Structure 1
Amino acid sequence: MKITNYTTYIVPPRWLFLKIETDEGIVGWGEPVIEGRAHTVQAAVGELMDYLIGKDPLRIEDHWQTMYRGGFYRGGSILMSAIAGIDQALWDIKGKAFNAPVYQLLGGACRDSIRVYSWIGGDRPSDVAQAALEKQQAGFTAIKMNACEEMQYIDSYRKVDEVVERVAAIRAAAGPDLGIGVDFHGRVHKPMAKVLAKALEPYRLMFIEEPVLPENNEALRDIANHTSTPIATGERMFSRWDFKSLLQDGYVDIIQPDLSHAGGITECKKIAAMAEAYDVGVAPHCPLGPIALAACLQVDATAHNAVIQEQSLGIHYNKGNDLLDYIVDPGVFAYDDGYVKIPQGPGLGINVNEEYVIKRAQEAPHRWRNPVWRHRDGSVAEW
């Protein structure tokens, strides 16, 4: 079997899909994207595919190593996201070639389903108690919300009080059993992160996420010493080498590699195995589309330390299209009592509606950009 061609599709709301074709008629789909930089990743995919045209798609490990090590400059969000989407598509091809879901080719499943959580609140969270109750009534057992809007290095305790009030309202409305993840989103710097983590501790959170930016991961030591709440991070870390020191330092409880950013199935399976050796859980980051989610679930099936899966259905970023729009059978992601079953079809386990993908790529190719926030003094704030 040989790789013969590839096509990329920029589709709403903010995604990039990749189709890789072979001379035997088997095609694979991947989702290589950095939110807000889809066109840049698209260009990187094209450069990397120069290595792969005419090659055997089944030699996935060798292709991964070639894409990563074949360039003098390595790593980073753009290159690793391009590799990730190509890797997903190659695994999709391989699973279809052997008529098996990817997880079977990774050693088989250690679970049949995994818990999922749903987003509430948006970038500037409000009315979260009612939103959490609605998600709970829809069958979800866990939710995640952004903690706050912009926050300075040293900021008003009023902002801290507002975060606490929102979380307290969720706990009061939904009861003690709902899992609550609070995403600091890297918006909070170390001084206020310590304050906020301590203030939220009475509400028994599932985790606090990205309490500081990954370039400041050394600050996790001080934050961990201020709270017993599990600390999660990793969506802006892109390889096992990025995660190495984080795991060695021992101040993280849950890592969140993104299978569309951190080298795909091949790399994230290795990252999960590294984390297991440190008794750290894995909760893959995935506020993206159905191909990315399908890839996550294949790895979740084989990773003993996978604890919960993010998914984007109804997330505030999904304007114009949502998670289920681009697949033939939305039932493959049917959520039941807060869990989703691992897809059983060959490859990634989903059938992409190619006709609809082409239609939307032609009708509404996006140029989604992150918002740029500023503090009251005019300085740029973390989003």
Structure 2
Amino acid sequence: MKITRVETFLVPPRWLFCRVETDEGVTGWGEPVVEGRAELVRTAVDVLAEYLLGQDPLRIQDHWQVLTKGGFYRGGPVLSSAVAGLDQALWDIAGKTYGAPVHALLGGPVRDRVRVYAWVGGDEPAELTDQIGEQVEAGFTAVKMNGAGRVGPAATMAETAAVVARVAAARDVLGPDRDVAVDFHGRFTAANARRVLNELAPLHPLFVEEPVLPEQNHLLAGLVGASPVPLATGERLYSRAEFLAPLTAGIAVAQPDLSHAGGISEVHRIASLAETYGAHLAPHCPLGPIALAASLQVAFATPNFLIQEQSRGIHYNKDADLLSYVVDPEPFRFVDGHASRGTAPGLGVSVDEAAVRAADRAGHAWRNPVWRHPDGSFAEW
């Protein structure tokens, strides 16, 4: 079996899909994308496809080595995301070839269902309690919210109090038996984070995500030592090497993204690395159905898995939904806040190719907003 074609599809709301075709009629799908930079990743996929054409798709690990290390300049979000989507597609082909789901090829399942959480906002808290109430009614046992919108470099007492008030409002709706995760989104300085984390501790967050920017991960050890709140990070880290320092610093939760951090192959290894540090895996995934399907396959085969992000209802998805590009919605039917383990081969999701091709004709040019402080200076989004 040989790879004969690699295609990419720029589909709303802000996703990029790839399709890898073989001469035996087996095809695989992946989701290689950097949100806001999808066109750049599309070009990177085209360049990497030059190597894959004519190759045996089942030599996944060998291809991963060449795609990630075959160039003198390596890594970074664009290249790592391009590799991630291609890697997903190759695992999809392998599962379909062997007639097994990817989690079986990773050593077999360690659980029968995967806990997922819903995103409920937080930048603007006015509708927060209603949004959480809706997710509780839908059966979710955990939600994630942004801790704040724009935050000043030296947060005022009012800004700090507002963060705590938002999480307290969430806790009131959730009660003691459900969880709330709080995303700082790299918007907080280390000093701001240290102050707020201690005030959040009595509200028992499941974790606080990206307490500082990834380029400031050398400060994580100090935050871990100063707060009882579990810390999480990883959506903007792209390899085992980049996760080593945060894990050594003592983060409780590693959050690699299956569409950014080298795909199934690398995230499975990141999970093993995290396990040696007593940390859990909670893959980042505010993306589309292929990325989520890949994430779930890893989750079913990962002993130290904690919880899975998913994008149904997330504010980015105004023009499409997880189900917009799939034939069968069953893999994404969440019961009591969990996704059940399926037996379909490969990634376990049937992509609606006609819908994808039609959407690609419209495409998208999604960009994240640019925020500024009241004095006109740049603010982290």
Q: Which moved more, 1:32-41 or 1:225-234?
A: 225-234
> TM-score with structure 2 length normalisation?
0.98
The residue type equivalent to 2:343 in the other structure is Q
The residue type equivalent to 1:372 in the other structure is V
C-alpha displacement at 1:153, in angstroms? 2.0
Contact (CA 8 Å) 1:5, 1:53: kept in 2 or not?
A: yes
Tell me the SS of whatever aligns to 2:323.
coil
1:350 aligns with: 349
Residues paired across the two proteins, number? 381
Does 1:77 pair with 2:77? yes
2:371 aligns with: 373
Contact (CA 8 Å) 1:125, 1:146: kept in 2 or not?
A: no
Q: Which moved more, 1:333-342 or 1:72-81?
A: 333-342
The residue type equivalent to 1:119 in the other structure is W
- In structure 2, how many angstroms separate the alpha carbons of the residues matched to 1:150 and 1:351? 39
TM alignment of 1:1-383, pairs within 5 A? 1-121=1-121, 123-249=123-249, 251-362=250-361, 364-383=362-381
- In structure 2, how many angstroms separate the alpha carbons of the residues matched to 1:122 and 1:358? 34
Identity, % of aligned positions: 54
Residue by residue over 1:67-89, the C-alpha shift from the partner in whole angstroms, topping out at 9 and shown as x without a partner, is 11100011110000000000000
Q: In angstroms, what is the RMSD of aligned CA positions?
A: 1.0
Contact (CA 8 Å) 1:87, 1:263: kept in 2 or not?
A: yes
C-alpha displacement at 1:163, in angstroms? 1.3
> TM-score with structure 1 length normalisation?
0.98
Tell me the SS of whatever aligns to 2:325.
coil
C-alpha displacement at 1:323, in angstroms? 1.0
Specify whether residues 290 and 113 from structure 1 end up closer, same or farther in structure 2 by C-alpha distance, changes over 3 A only.
same
Contact (CA 8 Å) 2:117, 2:310: kept in 1 or not?
A: yes
Contact (CA 8 Å) 2:220, 2:246: kept in 1 or not?
A: no
Q: Which runs of 5+ in 2 are unaligned?
A: none
The residue type equivalent to 1:73 in the other structure is Y
- In structure 2, how many angstroms separate the alpha carbons of the residues matched to 1:154 and 1:194? 12
Contact (CA 8 Å) 1:294, 1:343: kept in 2 or not?
A: no
The residue type equivalent to 1:379 in the other structure is S
Residue by residue over 1:298-321, the C-alpha shift from the partner in whole angstroms, topping out at 9 and shown as x without a partner, is 111111000100000010000110
Residue by residue over 1:218-267, the C-alpha shift from the partner in whole angstroms, topping out at 9 and shown as x without a partner, is 22122223321110100000001111122223x20000000000000000
Residue by residue over 1:185-221, the C-alpha shift from the partner in whole angstroms, topping out at 9 and shown as x without a partner, is 0011111111111111110111100000111112212
C-alpha displacement at 1:122, in angstroms? 5.3
The residue type equivalent to 2:246 in the other structure is L
Tell me the SS of whatever aligns to 1:225.
helix
- In structure 1, how many angstroms separate the alpha carbons of the residues matched to 2:319 and 2:281? 30
- In structure 2, how many angstroms separate the alpha carbons of the residues matched to 1:308 and 1:315? 17
Residue by residue over 1:245-295, the C-alpha shift from the partner in whole angstroms, topping out at 9 and shown as x without a partner, is 22223x200000000000000000000000011110000000000000000
C-alpha displacement at 1:178, in angstroms? 1.6
C-alpha displacement at 1:152, in angstroms? 2.1
- In structure 2, how many angstroms separate the alpha carbons of the residues matched to 1:54 and 1:106? 25
Contact (CA 8 Å) 1:124, 1:146: kept in 2 or not?
A: no
Contact (CA 8 Å) 1:122, 1:316: kept in 2 or not?
A: no
Specify whether residues 234 and 224 from structure 1 end up closer, same or farther in structure 2 by C-alpha distance, changes over 3 A only.
same
Contact (CA 8 Å) 1:102, 1:347: kept in 2 or not?
A: yes
- In structure 2, how many angstroms separate the alpha carbons of the residues matched to 1:262 and 1:124? 30
C-alpha displacement at 1:124, in angstroms? 3.3
C-alpha displacement at 1:97, in angstroms? 0.5
Tell me the SS of whatever aligns to 2:226.
coil
The residue type equivalent to 2:116 in the other structure is V
Tell me the SS of whatever aligns to 1:324.
helix
- In structure 2, how many angstroms separate the alpha carbons of the residues matched to 1:95 and 1:219? 41
Tell me the SS of whatever aligns to 1:126.
helix
- In structure 1, how many angstroms separate the alpha carbons of the residues matched to 2:67 and 2:126? 43
Contact (CA 8 Å) 2:256, 2:284: kept in 1 or not?
A: yes
Tell me the SS of whatever aligns to 1:6.
strand
